[in-house]
Structure 1
Amino acid sequence: MSPSDLEQPILLSLLGTGFATAFLHAALPTHWLPFALVGRAQRWSLPRLLGAVGAAGLAHIVTTAVVGGLIVVAGLALDQWISGLLPWVSAALLFLFGVFYLTRATLRRPRTAGGPEFDLPEPTVTHAAAFWGLVAMMAVSPGEVLLPIYLSQAKEGLLVLGALTLAFAAGTVAGMSVFTLLARAGWSVLRLERWARYEGAVLGIALIGIGLLVVFHQH
């Protein structure tokens, strides 16, 4: 199935959901704080910093797409044996991920005494080593939150999955860039981290909502 086979509002809603989910996921401090700190330590210019953010974000999504593709292949193979199982499997995964993130965000205790101190490291490595280190850091950690969405759209075809991957890439790079730039501009790291703690709750609710939509679509 190609994007033209889907109703335009449905396709736009899917891509918008993919972008928003990826953007929210990029609010995790691991997606922007290392770039802000390394960029300051290396005294990187804004273009070089954003180049590192963009390259790392794309590497993150490439890994996610590869893992997502393997999940899609496995899911489609399973669906050939048990007709109609795939949407329910994807909905179950969305629910599980949603409940996991929502529960973790609910049970996480706020910091009461001060907060972590982030001391800038001395620029003891080359710019190339710092750049590729950041890229490798993101490349080896696929976005597990995005994987169930791949599975939920497995039957829609490669073009739809490709468009979804582009939405993930745009949301991830945009989110990483925004939060990195905010940190670089001098926003309080603790203040950003306090906001980012709610990312888990928002993401969990969003994933549960997507799971409900998948279930509703089967009726």
Structure 2
Amino acid sequence: MSPADLQQPVLLSLLGGGFAAAFLHAALPTHWLPFVLVGRAQGWRTSRTLGTVVLAGLAHIGSTAVIGSLIVAAGLALDQWVEGLLPHLSAVLLFLFGAFYLSRAMLKRTATASGPALDAPEPRVADRTALLGLIALMALSPGEVLLPIYLSSATEGLGVLAALTAVFALGTVLGMVVFTALAGAGASILRLERWARYEGAVLGLALIGLGLLVALHQH
């Protein structure tokens, strides 16, 4: 069945609900906080951070669409496998990012305490590594809240599923961009630069905390 075969109110309701669900699920901290924290740590401009958000959001919906299609084809057994594997990989990525930035903060503090003569250049993740890591983080954590909508529309045909995917992508990317921009603006308004000496430690602990929340959410 194609979108044209559905009654227009039913189709609009389905797509509207899909957009709302996608936008609201983008409000989860894992969808914007890592970008704000890593972008600040890397010294990225807002445009670069938001560009990374767009790429990661598309990867997120791409993996959601693939998993959703496989669930529709193979049934709920695959859904249990996905919930048990991929989210844990995203948690591992969060832990690794957090551990790096926390160790960086500790090394910087040690070098400062040792005096100017021993002051060393601050270690930093390569921009390409940070970019790919953030994209992988989102790609490995498909939008579980969106999967039931795929299942509920499984009998409506490929056209409806494709329209849903487009709406999910629009809602998710828009939501991630909005919440990331708001969080970044809030950081500037609150003049968080005064806390720069603690930023590395806060960044590392925040990412590790997010990873812990993602891991605990699976149990």
Q: TM-score, normalised by structure 2?
A: 0.63
Cα deviation per residue 1:116-174 (whole Å; 9 max; x = unaligned)?
Answer: xx989767011111111100001111111111110100111111100001111111111
Note the C-alpha offset of 1:5: 0.6
Instruction: State how far apart, in whole Å, the 2-side matches of 1:150 and 1:123 are.
Output: 44
1:93-104 maps to which residues of 2 (within 5 A)?
none
SS at match of 1:186: helix
1:186 aligned partner: 186
One-letter amino acid matched to 1:158: L
Instruction: State how far apart, in whole Å, the 1-side matches of 2:40 and 2:9 are.
Output: 43
2:15 aligned partner: 15
Structure 1 residues without counterparts, runs of 5 or longer: 77-117, 190-219
SS at match of 2:186: coil
1:34 aligned partner: 34
Instruction: State how far apart, in whole Å, the 2-side matches of 1:123 and 1:11 are.
Output: 52
1:134 aligned partner: 134
Task: Supply the RMSD in Å over aligned alpha carbons.
Answer: 2.5
Q: For the pair shown, which has the larger CA radius of gyration, 1 or 2?
A: 2
* Percentage identity across paired residues of the two chains: 68
One-letter amino acid matched to 2:183: A
User: Which structure 1 residue ranges, 4+ long, deviate > 4 Å from structure 2?
Assistant: 118-123
One-letter amino acid matched to 1:41: A
Question: Which range moved further: 25-34 or 46-55?
Answer: 46-55
The total of aligned residue pairs comes to 149
1:1-219 maps to which residues of 2 (within 5 A)?
1-75=1-75, 124-186=124-186
Instruction: State how far apart, in whole Å, the 2-side matches of 1:34 and 1:74 are.
Output: 33
Structure 2 residues without counterparts, runs of 5 or longer: 77-100, 106-121, 193-219
2:85 aligned partner: none
Instruction: State how far apart, in whole Å, the 1-side matches of 2:57 and 2:12 are.
Output: 22
Give the number of the structure whose residues are more often helix, by fraction: 2
Cα deviation per residue 1:53-92 (whole Å; 9 max; x = unaligned)?
Answer: 011111111111111111111249xxxxxxxxxxxxxxxx
2:113 aligned partner: none
Note the C-alpha offset of 1:50: 1.2
